[in-house]
Amino acid sequence: MFATESDTVTRRLTPALREQVRHELPEIAQIRDDDLREKVISAWCLALARSSYASIREIPPEGNPGSMRLIRGDQTDHIRGVTRLAIAMADELATTNPDLPLNRDIVVAGGICHDVGKPWEFDPENRKRWQGARHKAGVPSLRHPAYGAHLCLLVGLPEEVAHIAAAHSGEGELLVRSLENTIVHTADIGYWSIMLAGGLIDPDTIAGKYKRPISL
């Protein structure tokens, strides 16, 4: 599957890493389709294997590098929180609206994979390279939505999941989000907004779009 991968990356793609990803993101078990579930694990394994992170827990709990940092926890808290919020919204709305054309597996897979590109965008080695030659490949060369969509397609995940990785964030303002992506996007924005309202975001890292025009 990963014919173009370097030996170093291939060596890191072990059964132990798959088990670790299952353990770090236990909501993966809620994906009912076996093939979809295994490909979600593959996407996260590849994301880690291609980065300097050995674990999703090593990635800072931030929305973007240096921005919207949780005062405690790690990146798994965000990914799991968004996935569970998205599942809760999907289940509630499907119960009260049986004609909603909702694919629950895509909501779960999309929640788990929406930030699968973060190991790339947050990687200190990548960030040093980009900052050292800003004219060359941009800063960053690819944000996590673009790189995440690349990973999803590379491991054979359906375009419905790649779309959620690609367009859960600001990139989604340039297109029409799917139903499942609208749920994940709402969960993602809701997660950061609620953490901020509850005082669980480091005040020095609040992103401009969350700042109020007056301070009270």
Count other C-beta atoms under 10 Å from residue 88's C-beta.
12
The closest of 55, 27, 34 to 122, measured between CA atoms, is: 55
Nearer to Fe ion, 24 or 115 (CB): 115
Rounded to the nearest whole angstrom, what is the least distance from the CB of residue 171 to Fe ion in the complex?
13
Rounded to the nearest whole angstrom, what is the least distance from the CB of residue 57 to Fe ion in the complex?
16
Nearer to Fe ion, 9 or 146 (CB): 146
Rounded to the nearest whole angstrom, what is the least distance from the CB of residue 20 to Fe ion in the complex?
20
Interface with Fe ion (CB under 5 A): 115, 188
**Which pair of structure tokens corresponds to residue 130?**
């980009």
Nearer to Fe ion, 46 or 86 (CB): 86
Rounded to the nearest whole angstrom, what is the least distance from the CB of residue 199 to Fe ion in the complex?
20
What residue has token string 């004219």?
135
Rounded to the nearest whole angstrom, what is the least distance from the CB of residue 211 to Fe ion in the complex?
19
In degrees rounded to 5, what are phi and psi of residue 52? -90, 5
Nearer to Fe ion, 50 or 192 (CB): 192
Rounded to the nearest whole angstrom, what is the least distance from the CB of residue 17 to Fe ion in the complex?
22
Nearer to Fe ion, 27 or 115 (CB): 115
Nearer to Fe ion, 12 or 188 (CB): 188
Q: How many CA atoms lie within 13 A of 144 on its CB side?
A: 23
